[in-house]
């Protein structure tokens, strides 16, 4: 990319201090940022003569202004600006509402171009609030920007309209787009019928047709996916050359582990274990993602794998995103590994615990509270087999003697550099197992985790997750509360979930803090607590401990309870403002209940009880499993909302293209082909420059 494209945006015409601040809100700081601020959609206007106009059409016309006047409505509530526009075939009215200043701009006798919708009313047909711009004679022909056949509509902010962006973009593109150098190999451009970058950039902003806009957009989507797949393939190759410790399965360890379980492993769990064992038996480090919804038994799988590694005399680390989840893993893993004499430790920001078998007390478990320095020392000497913890595991003082397996739970909550810090100081590369309870559709897996092998647990253990879903209108809220009250009287526990912590001016929906005070009055005979992301981890832990022990009967919370809370006596949930949550998130939330032999009930109460909301929420009832629901959610909301636009680090066009499996597969094929034929990019120096820069910018593994 040439230096001119990296110049600050204020260096160019029309950009004053006020405009600059507004452009910053859109992420536009350089000329390159402006060039790659792509349209979110296009308005298409049919070019027509006035006599051919039809009601309901979106059209563009050119004509002379025959007359123009401002008309006050009888009650003076608003002003109509009406212009009569004529061409050689006839005339039509153009009407604008509350824009009297247009009389000074649209002068009688001048030729303008207009684009808008043909409507009927006020005594006949008219163009409603059309865009306008002056037409020049042939000798001074100027490109139409706002009333052309295909008009780009951009992501906007207050004070920065699409019209303004078109106005500043056009002259800058004309002058500077030739500074862009084509980095995609010619063979790709020819085979895939992609335009060259200079043409593509102009066509994406000022397309000659909708087809050419889509072709240009596809090219840019492909290039981002291609660079991403190059990154994945290159990392795979680098990893394939690294050495890991070969862990062969031992039947006696597996038998001992399985016999200790109070349940039988599912077929899905057995299949996933075999997939992981095949990876561990190689000297190449495993890089695998284990997906499965809450309660499917991912921790059991991870515990068995950890047992095999620890039995060989090596160490295992389990990294959790929150203290609550780390403590839960510590308790659960210790239970699964109770037949073994492993030393298992917990490390969080405030705690350092060590669990070990004591031979003095007939091999009963003892739990010791350690000084952190003491834990670090034991870990370094290899005296701790398995360390479970939060971000505290990533501190430089944490050093393993022989770490052979790193397990990261909910890996999307950790940055790439944090995950790498676990293993970067070691001579031998540990095997890497990532786990997530968020089911992700296949296309997203290919883009987000293309460098990881994938294992999925789709079935739940028998007797798990028996939850009845009901959708109620807001006016029946009290019915739901009374039903919850009856369940609490019987000794059950429950949740009431809200989308927000505090009231928002922008989002008209209920918030946990304010509603908590009202709920206390409805449930005066029960012990209640409020749980959300802003309270301290110590307070959070205390609340959850009391909830698990039954001291708290009703938990009022936000989506913070989505992961890592297992209270088997909690069987009733009400979710307020249900349409504010994604389907996958709702599925995760209702996964908090129905975790015992008793059936759970989840009542969804949307703020707006429209047909479209009911249809969307009903998908939870139809879906056979969380993976199927994730596919539905992706189709309904799009990848931006599904993933959280700022969570992935993916460029905008890659986000748009996440539904396009064919394009992702093509990008993957080309990445493999290029790296196979020219791994050092000797034939493609410009591609190498672009790729090097891309690696620094994209925060993915």
- Same domain, yes or no, for 34 and 131? no
Residues 6+ apart with CB under 8 A from 508: 607
Last residue of a domain, one of 125, 148, 171: 148
pLDDT digits (tens, 9 = 90+) for 33-79: 899 899 989 999 999 999 999 999 999 999 999 999 998 877 767 88
CA distances from 293 to 363, 430, 437 (A): 35, 26, 4
Residue pair 582/642 in contact (Cβ under 8 Å)? The answer is: yes
Cα–Cα distance, 179 to 570 (Å, whole number): 62
pLDDT digits (tens, 9 = 90+) for 160-183: 999 999 999 999 999 998 888 999
Tell me, yes or no, whether 607 lies in a domain. Answer: yes
Residues 6+ apart with CB under 8 A from 167: 14, 145
Residue pair 593/555 in contact (Cβ under 8 Å)? The answer is: no
- Same domain, yes or no, for 36 and 76? no
Residue pair 700/419 in contact (Cβ under 8 Å)? The answer is: no
pLDDT exceeds 80 at position 645: no
Region for residue 33 given its phi and psi (left: phi exceeds 0; alpha: psi -120 to 50; beta: otherwise): alpha
pLDDT: which is higher, 102 or 238: 102
- Same domain, yes or no, for 139 and 273? no
Burial-class residue 581 by CB neighbours within 10 Å (0-12, 13-18, 19+). buried
Tell me, yes or no, whether 684 lies in a domain. Answer: no
Start-to-end Cα distance in the chain: 24
Residue pair 118/54 in contact (Cβ under 8 Å)? The answer is: yes
Residue holding tokens 């085979």?
191
Last residue of a domain, one of 624, 648, 680: 624
Strands (E), 335-402: 344-347, 352-358, 364-369, 386-389
Q: How many CA atoms lie within 13 A of 258 on its CB side?
A: 12
pLDDT: which is higher, 424 or 569: 569
Nearest to 621 by CA among 574, 569, 668, 583: 583
- Same domain, yes or no, for 15 and 66? no
- Same domain, yes or no, for 491 and 528? yes
Tell me, rounded to whole angstroms, the distance of Cα 321 from its chain centroid: 17
Secondary structure (3-state) at 170 = helix
Cα–Cα distance, 494 to 297 (Å, whole number): 23
The residue-averaged pLDDT of 144-167 equals 92
Cα–Cα distance, 434 to 439 (Å, whole number): 13
Of 127-141, 467-481, 494-508, 658-672, least confident by mean pLDDT is: 494-508
Last residue of a domain, one of 90, 124, 148: 148
Band of pLDDT at residue 379, cut at 50, 70 and 90 = very high
Tell me, yes or no, whether 196 lies in a domain. Answer: no
Q: What is the pLDDT of residue 588?
A: 79
Band of pLDDT at residue 505, cut at 50, 70 and 90 = very low
- Same domain, yes or no, for 4 and 22? yes
Cα–Cα distance, 611 to 605 (Å, whole number): 14
Domain count across the chain: 4
pLDDT: which is higher, 478 or 697: 478
Residue pair 37/154 in contact (Cβ under 8 Å)? The answer is: yes
- Same domain, yes or no, for 143 and 173? no
- Same domain, yes or no, for 423 and 316? yes
Band of pLDDT at residue 417, cut at 50, 70 and 90 = very low
Strands 352-358 and 124-134 turn out to be: unpaired
Query: Maximum CA pair distance of the chain?
Result: 105
Residues 6+ apart with CB under 8 A from 108: 65, 66, 67, 68
Nearest to 192 by CA among 522, 689, 527, 663: 663
Tell me, yes or no, whether 558 lies in a domain. Answer: yes
pLDDT digits (tens, 9 = 90+) for 506-535: 445 677 888 888 899 999 999 999 988 788
Helix or strand holding residue 232 (H, E): helix 210-240
Tell me, yes or no, whether 144 lies in a domain. Answer: yes
Band of pLDDT at residue 647, cut at 50, 70 and 90 = very low
Residue pair 425/399 in contact (Cβ under 8 Å)? The answer is: yes
Cα–Cα distance, 600 to 622 (Å, whole number): 17
Nearest-5° Cα angle at 227, 631 to 416: 70
Q: What is the pLDDT of residue 323?
A: 82
Residue pair 85/126 in contact (Cβ under 8 Å)? The answer is: no
CA distances from 675 to 249, 288, 383, 695 (A): 35, 22, 43, 16
Neighbours of 464 (CB within 10 A): 19
Structure tokens at 484: 């919850």
Buried b / exposed e over 234-245, threshold 16 CB at 10 Å, is: bbbeebeeeebb
Of 335-344, 414-423, 440-449, least confident by mean pLDDT is: 414-423
Secondary structure (3-state) at 257 = helix
Residue pair 338/260 in contact (Cβ under 8 Å)? The answer is: yes
Helix or strand holding residue 464 (H, E): none
Any idea of the CA torsion for 137, 140, 143, 144, to the nearest 10 degrees?
-40
Residue pair 466/599 in contact (Cβ under 8 Å)? The answer is: yes
Q: What is the pLDDT of residue 548?
A: 87
What DSSP string describes 575-588? EETGGGS-HHHHHH
pLDDT digits (tens, 9 = 90+) for 549-584: 899 999 998 887 766 677 888 899 999 988 888 787
Q: What is the pLDDT of residue 360?
A: 42
- Same domain, yes or no, for 404 and 266? yes
Structure tokens at 476: 């029946």
Tell me, yes or no, whether 644 lies in a domain. Answer: no
- Same domain, yes or no, for 473 and 546? yes
Tell me, yes or no, whether 306 lies in a domain. Answer: yes
pLDDT digits (tens, 9 = 90+) for 252-308: 999 999 999 988 999 999 999 999 999 999 999 998 889 887 778 899 999 999 999
Tell me, yes or no, whether 188 lies in a domain. Answer: no
- Same domain, yes or no, for 333 and 369? yes
Buried b / exposed e over 48-82, threshold 16 CB at 10 Å, is: bebeebeeeeebbbbbbbeebeeeeeeeeeeebbb
CA distances from 63 to 52, 88, 127, 451 (A): 14, 8, 13, 58
pLDDT digits (tens, 9 = 90+) for 450-460: 678 888 888 77
Q: What is the pLDDT of residue 59?
A: 96
The residue-averaged pLDDT of 636-644 equals 54
Give the domain range for residue 431: 251-281+294-436
pLDDT digits (tens, 9 = 90+) for 578-629: 888 878 788 878 878 877 777 889 999 998 888 888 888 888 877 766 777 7
Region for residue 451 given its phi and psi (left: phi exceeds 0; alpha: psi -120 to 50; beta: otherwise): alpha
Q: What is the pLDDT of residue 501?
A: 74
pLDDT digits (tens, 9 = 90+) for 329-365: 998 999 999 999 899 999 988 788 888 765 444 457 7
Nearest to 94 by CA among 113, 109, 81, 111: 81
Cα–Cα distance, 562 to 589 (Å, whole number): 5
pLDDT digits (tens, 9 = 90+) for 175-217: 998 888 999 999 999 999 999 999 999 999 999 999 999 999 9
Look over the chain and give the mean of its residue pLDDT values, rounded to a whole number.
Answer: 84
Q: What is the pLDDT of residue 90?
A: 94
Q: Residue 77 maps to which CATH number?
A: 2.40.50.140
Q: Residue 343 maps to which CATH number?
A: 3.40.50.300
pLDDT digits (tens, 9 = 90+) for 220-251: 989 888 988 898 888 888 877 888 899 999 99
Cα–Cα distance, 618 to 470 (Å, whole number): 9
Query: Phi and psi at residue 429, in whole multiples of 5°?
Result: -80, 125
Cα–Cα distance, 192 to 208 (Å, whole number): 20
- Same domain, yes or no, for 477 and 330? no
Beta bridge partners of 345: 354, 387
């Amino acid at each position: 990319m040439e230096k001119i494209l990296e110049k600050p945006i204020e260096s160019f015409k029309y950009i004053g201090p006020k405009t600059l601040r507004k452009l910053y809100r859109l992420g536009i700081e350089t000329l390159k940022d402006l060039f790659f601020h792509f349209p979110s959609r296009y308005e298409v206007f049919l070019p027509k003569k006035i006599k051919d106009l039809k009601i309901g059409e979106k059209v563009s016309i050119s004509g002379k202004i025959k007359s123009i006047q401002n008309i006050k409505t009888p009650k003076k509530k608003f002003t109509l600006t009406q212009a009569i526009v004529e061409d050689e075939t006839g005339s039509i009215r153009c009407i604008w509402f509350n824009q009297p200043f247009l009389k000074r701009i649209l002068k009688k006798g001048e030729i303008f171009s207009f684009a808008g919708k043909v409507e009927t009313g006020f005594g006949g047909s008219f163009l409603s609030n059309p865009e306008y711009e002056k037409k020049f004679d042939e000798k001074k022909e100027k490109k139409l920007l706002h009333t052309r056949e295909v008009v780009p509509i951009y992501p906007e902010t207050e004070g920065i309209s699409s019209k303004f962006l078109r106005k500043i973009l056009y002259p800058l593109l004309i002058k500077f787009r030739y500074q862009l150098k084509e980095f995609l190999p010619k063979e790709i451009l020819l085979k895939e019928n992609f335009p060259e970058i200079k043409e593509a950039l102009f066509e994406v902003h000022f397309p000659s047709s909708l087809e050419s806009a889509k072709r240009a957009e596809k090219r840019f989507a492909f290039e981002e996916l291609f660079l991403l797949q190059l990154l994945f393939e290159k990392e795979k190759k680098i990893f394939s050359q690294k050495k890991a410790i070969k862990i062969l399965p031992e039947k006696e360890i597996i038998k001992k582990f399985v016999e200790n379980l109070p349940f039988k492993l599912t077929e899905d769990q057995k299949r996933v274990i075999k997939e992981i064992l095949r990876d561990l038996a190689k000297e190449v480090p495993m890089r695998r993602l284990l997906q499965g919804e809450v309660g499917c038994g991912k921790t059991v799988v991870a515990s068995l794998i950890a047992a095999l590694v620890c039995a060989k005399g090596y160490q295992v680390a389990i990294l959790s995103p929150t203290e609550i989840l780390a403590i839960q893993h510590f308790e659960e893993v210790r239970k699964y590994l109770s037949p073994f004499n492993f030393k298992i430790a917990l490390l969080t920001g405030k705690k350092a615990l060590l669990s070990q078998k004591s031979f003095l007390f007939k091999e009963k478990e003892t739990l010791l509270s350690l000084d952190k320095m003491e834990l670090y020392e034991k870990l370094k000497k290899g005296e701790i087999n398995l360390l479970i913890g939060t971000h505290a595991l990533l501190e430089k003082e944490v050093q393993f003697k022989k770490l052979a397996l790193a397990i990261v739970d909910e890996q999307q909550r950790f940055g790439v550099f944090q995950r790498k810090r676990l293993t970067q100081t070691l001579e031998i590369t540990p095997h890497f197992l990532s786990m997530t309870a968020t089911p992700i559709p296949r296309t997203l897996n290919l883009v987000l985790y293309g460098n990881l092998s994938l294992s999925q647990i789709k079935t739940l253990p028998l007797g798990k997750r028996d939850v009845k879903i009901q959708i109620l209108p807001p006016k029946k809220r009290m019915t739901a509360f009374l039903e919850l009250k009856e369940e609490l009287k019987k000794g059950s526990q429950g949740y009431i979930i809200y989308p927000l912590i505090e009231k928002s001016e922008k989002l008209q929906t209920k918030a946990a803090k304010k509603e908590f005070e009202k709920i206390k009055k409805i449930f005066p005979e029960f012990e209640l607590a409020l749980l959300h992301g802003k309270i301290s981890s110590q307070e959070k832990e205390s609340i959850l401990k009391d909830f698990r022990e039954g001291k708290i009967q009703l938990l009022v919370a936000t989506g913070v309870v989505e992961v890592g809370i297992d209270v088997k006596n909690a069987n009733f949930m009400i979710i307020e403002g249900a349409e504010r949550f994604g389907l996958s998130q709702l599925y995760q939330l209702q996964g908090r209940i129905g975790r015992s032999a008793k059936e759970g009930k989840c009542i969804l109460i949307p703020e707006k009880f429209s047909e479209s909301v009911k249809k969307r929420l009903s998908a939870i009832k139809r879906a056979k499993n969380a993976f199927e629901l994730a596919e539905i959610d992706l189709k309904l909301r799009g990848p931006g909302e599904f993933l959280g636009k700022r969570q992935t680090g993916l460029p905008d066009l890659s986000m748009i293209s996440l539904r396009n499996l064919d394009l992702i597969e093509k990008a993957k094929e080309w990445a493999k082909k290029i790296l196979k034929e020219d791994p050092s990019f000797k034939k493609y120096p410009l591609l190498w420059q672009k790729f090097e820069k891309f690696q620094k910018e994209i925060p993915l593994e």
